[in-house]
């Protein structure tokens, strides 16, 4: 079923399958930060991220969000619909953290209501610069109608995730989404994991995400395992 390697990124590898409409995404244990300048590998990180992502895609599907998720091929391998990725990263921010509290007069930890949606141009070459709709249109990244749709979907995803994670004692300061086109539809793609979201413990406001790695805040795998424990407790049973 798993065939040749199509693409290998910083933390995931994508393989062809027997069916040209489906791909296999392997979540690896490697991780990078600061445009690839900081690198590491942490055992089981790929497994936890794959399981968290799968569960959150299932939750979103149940709530009417169309995603690329089909199922799991193994603990850290996801089967997804093949899409053409739109080169816009949607970042939704509920609480000021990271760069936004450095670039603008927001205080770290300050609630952002209504949530702030930011678009970045997905480009390693240009370092993912922030863009707006006019730049995206001029670059031919997406149509206005597509941008309306992905913004609206990102806010819907945010409402669903904030509610669900809140029930499990987690805050969602911010996260990044990617979308793709497939058969005339726009699907939520990529991943929703500790690598692409900030998760804070509600009680202690401790980071349970990639910031542990970015800023040497402690045991990365313990943080990812803690999120998995709350989001996908089934994987720890038996």
Using CB under 6 A, count the residues that bind ligand UDP: 14
In terms of CB distance, is 75 or 98 closer to ligand UDP?
Answer: 98
What pairing do the DSSP bridges indicate for beta strands 38-41 and 88-95? unpaired
Q: Contacting ligand UDP (CB under 6 A), which of 26, 55, 174, 226?
A: 174
- Residue 115 in contact with ligand UDP, rule: CB under 6 A: no
Among 86, 91, 141, 208, binds ligand UDP (CB under 6 A): 91
Name the minimum Å distance from CB 75 to ligand UDP.
22
Closest-CA residue to 118 (of 95, 144, 151): 151
Closest residue to ligand UDP in the complex (CB): 98
* Residue 175 binding ligand UDP, by CB under 6 A: yes
Instruction: Figure out which of the listed residues 99, 110, 132, 143 binds ligand UDP, where binding follows CB under 6 A.
Output: 99
**Which residues does 77 contact at the CB level (< 8 Å), separation at least 6?**
2, 24, 25, 26, 27, 50
Kindly state whether residue 197 participates in binding ligand UDP, applying the rule CB under 6 A. Answer: yes
CB 170 → ligand UDP: shortest distance, Å? 13
Residue 198 found at the interface with ligand UDP (CB under 6 A): yes
- Is residue 110 involved in binding ligand UDP (CB under 6 A)? no
Residue 206 in 3-state DSSP?
coil
Nearest Cα residue to 209 out of 230, 223, 189: 223
Task: Work out whether the CA dihedral 3, 83, 161, 63 comes out positive or negative.
Answer: negative
Q: Which of 86, 87, 54 is nearest to 182 (CA)?
A: 86
Q: Helix, strand or coil for residue 152?
A: helix
Closest approach of ligand UDP to the CB of residue 164, in Å: 17
Do residues 171 and 199 lie in contact, with contact meaning Cβ atoms separated by under 8 Å?
A: yes
The footprint of ligand UDP on residues 4-23 (CB under 6 A) is none
Structure tokens at 143: 């149509």
Q: Which of 68, 81, 210, 225 binds ligand UDP (CB under 6 A)?
A: 210
CA nearest neighbour of 120 among 136, 106, 134? 136
Binding site for ligand UDP (CB under 6 A): 89, 91, 97-100, 128, 174-176, 196-198, 210
């Amino acid at each position: 079923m798993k065939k040749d390697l199509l693409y290998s990124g910083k933390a995931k590898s994508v393989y062809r399958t027997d069916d040209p409409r489906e791909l296999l995404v392997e979540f690896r244990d490697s991780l990078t930060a600061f445009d690839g300048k900081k690198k590491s590998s942490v055992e089981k990180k790929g497994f936890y991220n794959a399981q968290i992502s799968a569960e959150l895609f299932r939750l979103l599907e149940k709530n009417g969000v169309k995603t690329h998720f089909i199922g799991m091929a193994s603990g850290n391998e996801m089967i997804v619909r093949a899409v053409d990725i739109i080169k816009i990263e949607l970042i939704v921010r509920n609480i000021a953290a990271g760069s936004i509290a450095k670039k603008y007069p927001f205080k770290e930890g300050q609630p952002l209501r209504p949530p702030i949606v930011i678009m970045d141009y997905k480009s390693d070459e240009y370092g993912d610069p922030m863009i707006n709709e006019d730049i995206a249109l001029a670059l031919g990244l997406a149509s206005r109608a597509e941008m309306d749709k992905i913004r609206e979907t990102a806010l819907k995803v945010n409402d669903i995730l904030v509610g669900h994670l809140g029930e499990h004692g987690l805050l969602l300061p911010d996260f990044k989404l990617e979308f793709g086109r497939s058969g005339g539809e726009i699907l939520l793609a990529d991943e929703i994991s500790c690598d692409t979201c900030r998760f804070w413990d509600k009680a202690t406001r401790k980071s349970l995400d990639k910031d542990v790695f970015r800023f040497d805040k402690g045991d990365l795998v313990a943080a990812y395992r803690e999120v998995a424990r709350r989001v996908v407790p089934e994987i720890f049973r038996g």
